[in-house]
Amino acid sequence: MRIRYRVAVWSGLLLAALVAAVLASATIGPVELRAPVVAKAALNAVGIPTGLGVSIGTASVAGASVPWPTVDVQYAYPFAFQIAPTSELIVRSIRLPRIVLGATVGFALGGAGAVMQGFFRNPMADPSIIGVSTGAAVGAVATIAVPMAVPFGLQTAAFLGAVVTAFVVYLLATEGGRTPVATLLLAGVAVQTFLGAVVSFLLLQSGESLEEAVYWLMGNLYGAGWADVGATLPAITVLFLALVPFARDLNVLMLGEEDARTLGIPVEWTKRLLLALSSLLTAAAVAVAGVIGFVGLIVPHMMRLVVGPDHRLLLPTSALTGALFLVVTDTIARANPQELPVGIVTAALGAPFFLFLLRRREVHEL
């Protein structure tokens, strides 16, 4: 079967499953809503951008007000179904933004995980392997524990922590323009350990805000709004689309760097680019959702068992399955009377499912 056809079929199926999961998820919550109501409310929320404008507002950076350009997008809403205002409010303003944000974060983690595993030629790699998540944790926990010391909002601090950490790890592992993958891995582990100590120390200092910090560390989507989606979705879409043309280079890199070189891949340049894009992708996800473990590790691995190692197929299917997985797990997390951080659910459900797949495949191969 031709690759374009396979990508289209798989992506189409997974996208359909994702839309179904989003709608099903929106029916679940303290107020039970029926599926048609949810579907109508969701369609009412569909906006088609009709105009773009830029206005100069102000933003507060380090306590000072500075002019800040804001992009205004005008939307037209083609659907106007009549439904109860409370139902519309619940779906449109409370549940949908959280579900869409979950899908976006899962999409980013699944995609970044597929890239990292290919990049490191190691199925144990995940998006946080070069310290992105731990760096974000330092930024976030510092903001929570010692707010006066950090001049940014929590999400900005987490994002910057993640990006700076990835860059530092990269610099530590690079010598003479070459970045050996094994050195990168070790530098990542060492920096993660160090930053883990910093996070623990900050937690000790956090006093009353300890619970909030722990919640963030476990990863959760509580209280997500459209503003979060607006900040994250475009960034993640752009970063992901930038990665797609490199899927074939990733395939070649899996055969080894020397081999890739003889096939005309500028290896170091490609590695730098892949590392930067996937780190930004992870950072954007972790900044809004906290440290959600396991999605970036098991989803790409699972999809490799299902669709094979070709990144042209693996990258989109991992991203979409990541989105699907996080929508489902976050629904379970918030359906619980005492809401759980979604990170706990992803790990608790993901690990056994992964083990099941691993066992079945091994038995199958005998």
Q: Which positions lie near other proteins, rule CB under 8 A? A: 2-4, 7, 121, 245, 248-249, 251-252, 254-256, 258-259, 261-267, 304, 308-310, 312
2/34 with CB nearer other proteins? 2
Give the nearest distance from C-beta 165 to other proteins in angstroms. Answer: 29
Q: Which residue, 208 or 258, is less far from other proteins as judged by CB?
A: 258
Helix (H) or strand (E) holding 53: strand 48-61
Give the Cα separation of 303 and 115 in Å (integer). 13
Nearer to other proteins, 234 or 308 (CB): 308
Nearest CA to 222 among 207, 212, 230?
Answer: 212
Strand, helix or coil at 251?
A: helix
Environment class of residue 208 by beta-carbon count within 10 Å: exposed (0-12), middle (13-18) or buried (19+)?
A: exposed
Helix (H) or strand (E) holding 346: helix 342-365
* Burial call 297-330: b when 16+ CB within 10 Å, e when fewer: bbbbbbbbeebeebbbbbbbbbbbbbbbbbbbbb
Nearest-approach distance from CB 302 to other proteins, in angstroms: 15
Supply the minimum distance, in Å, between the C-beta of residue 17 and other proteins: 23
To the nearest whole angstrom, how small is the minimum distance from the Cβ of residue 282 to other proteins? 22
Query: Which of 141/267 has CB closer to other proteins?
Result: 267
Q: How far is the CB of 121 from other proteins (least distance, A)?
A: 7
Give the nearer residue to other proteins in terms of CB position, either 56 or 241.
241
CB of 116 to other proteins, least distance (A): 15
Report helix, strand and coil shares of the chain as percent, to nearest 5. 70, 10, 20
Shortest approach of other proteins to residue 360 CB, angstroms?
16
Nearest to 21 by CA among 326, 334, 351: 326
Q: Least separation, in Å, of the C-beta of 259 and other proteins? A: 6
d(CA 54, CA 252): 42
Q: Which is nearer to other proteins, 196 or 309 (CB)?
A: 309
**304 or 334, CB closer to other proteins?**
304
Q: Are 344 and 290 in contact (CB under 8 A)?
A: no
Cα–Cα distance for residue pair 270/354, rounded to 1 Å:
31
Please list the residues that pair with 48 across neighbouring strands: 76
State how far the alpha carbon of 85 is from the alpha carbons of 41, 90, 100, 312, in Å: 10, 9, 21, 44
Of residues 299 and 324, the one with the C-beta less far from other proteins: 299
